[in-house]
Amino acid sequence: MQILELKKEFDNDWQTISDSQDLEKLRIKYLGKKGKIAQAFTELKKLSLSEKKQIGPELNELKKEIEKNIDKFSKNISQKEELSNLYQSLPGKKPEMGHLHVTTQAIREIIEVFKPLGFNRVRYPEVDWDFFAFESLNMPREHAARDEWETFFIQGLEDKKMGKAVITPHTSSGQVREMLKGKLPIRMLNIGRCGRRQIDINHIPSFYQFEGLVIDKGINITHLKGLLDYFAKNFYGPERKTRIRPFHFRFTEPSFEVDINCDLCLGKGCRFCKSGWVELGGAGMVHPNVLKFGKIDPEKYTGFAFGWGIERTYMMKSGTKINDIRHLFSNDFRFLEQF
Ligand code: DAH
């Protein structure tokens, strides 16, 4: 009986094992009831006493070795298989998905509200001439009314006719540009980035505004009022109220300030709104001088305009609960991911 041959055969088979099924086959082949080792013991009985004495211990040794190997490998393999099953059933790690910034979402929502009424979204320069930002809006150079706009001027960029270059402090700078296109009637929605030297919970130096301008024959205040109501209903929901206060702007006559009841306290008064009402922005009937700058005859055409901050407008929406406009620009994911 060749113990050495049996050992070699086992060694060869051992190389081919890759999983627990292979291992089980191997176990049966060598250690099974009718396996190679059992057969060898049967044969051993037929041998002479001296042969038995020599081969017996060798066979026992081989049996133990095979048992030890199979046992060790089986523990190893089952651990590995368990682990790999575990990994397969774990939910995958999802890649982080970005989404549109809350200001962009607000811009898109506002566009959707005005679209059905035929408003056309336009954009005008973020850096524009004094003429469009002020002069053509009935605010002559050196006029004190301009102070309110806390304007950033672009150093070294000036034109004799157009004046200095400024970072547009409001989207009203698009009004006369739109009129000068020469197409009437006008239903403009100008949305753009503006800049002013102001910072507190309600103001940031770089913000967005949207400006509505309607010019046609026979336009009057009732059209403006109707539009404000339409916007409040469609953007904020039926429970929010607006009110109009007389105000003064150089480019509208009459002029109004449009307020909406505060979303945080719903009219009681809080740190954010103080009086229960928050200012959305300005509105009014386009001043005849502005129409003239836009080469439109004020005897034939009239119009209204309104201009509001996008961020402010969005902050007053139900459920947003944004109590500091600066959060919108803080780039803090804990804040931004909520929208
Ligand atoms: N441009 C003004 C501002 O930024 C807001 C404004 C007031 C716009 C009256 C208008 C308007 O169109 O009619 O404060």
HSE (side-chain half, CA atoms, 13 Å) at 188? 32
Sign of the dihedral defined by the CA atoms of residues 177, 179, 182, 186, in that order: positive
Distance of CA 185 to the CA centre of its chain: 36
Sign of the dihedral defined by the CA atoms of residues 208, 240, 236, 211, in that order: negative
Atom of ligand 1 nearest to the CA of 175: 12
Q: Map tokens 């009402």 to a residue.
A: 277
Domain boundaries, the chain: 3-89, 102-336
Length of the chain: 339
Ramachandran region, residue 118 (left: φ > 0; alpha: ψ -120 to 50; beta: rest): left
Residue 204's CB is within 10 A of a number of other CB atoms, namely: 18
How far, in Å, from the CA of 283 to the mean position of ligand 1? 6
Give me the CATH code for the 102-336 domain, please.
3.30.930.10
How far, in Å, from the CA of 336 to the mean position of ligand 1? 29
Residue-level pLDDT, tens digit, the chain, 339 residues: 688 888 899 989 988 888 888 888 999 999 999 999 999 999 988 888 888 898 899 999 999 999 998 888 888 877 777 777 777 777 788 888 889 999 999 999 999 999 999 999 999 999 999 999 999 999 998 888 888 899 999 999 999 999 999 999 999 999 999 999 999 999 999 999 999 999 998 889 999 999 999 999 999 999 999 999 899 889 998 878 788 999 999 999 999 999 988 777 777 888 877 888 888 899 999 999 999 999 999 999 999 999 999 988 888 786 677 778 888 888 888 888 888
Q: Are strands 153-159 and 242-249 parallel, antiparallel or unpaired?
A: unpaired
pTM comes to 0.72
| CA end-to-end span of the chain | 81
Ligand 1 pocket: which of 170, 188, 189 to mutate (most atoms within 8 A of CB):
170
Q: Is 257 in the pocket of ligand 1 (CB under 6 A)?
A: no
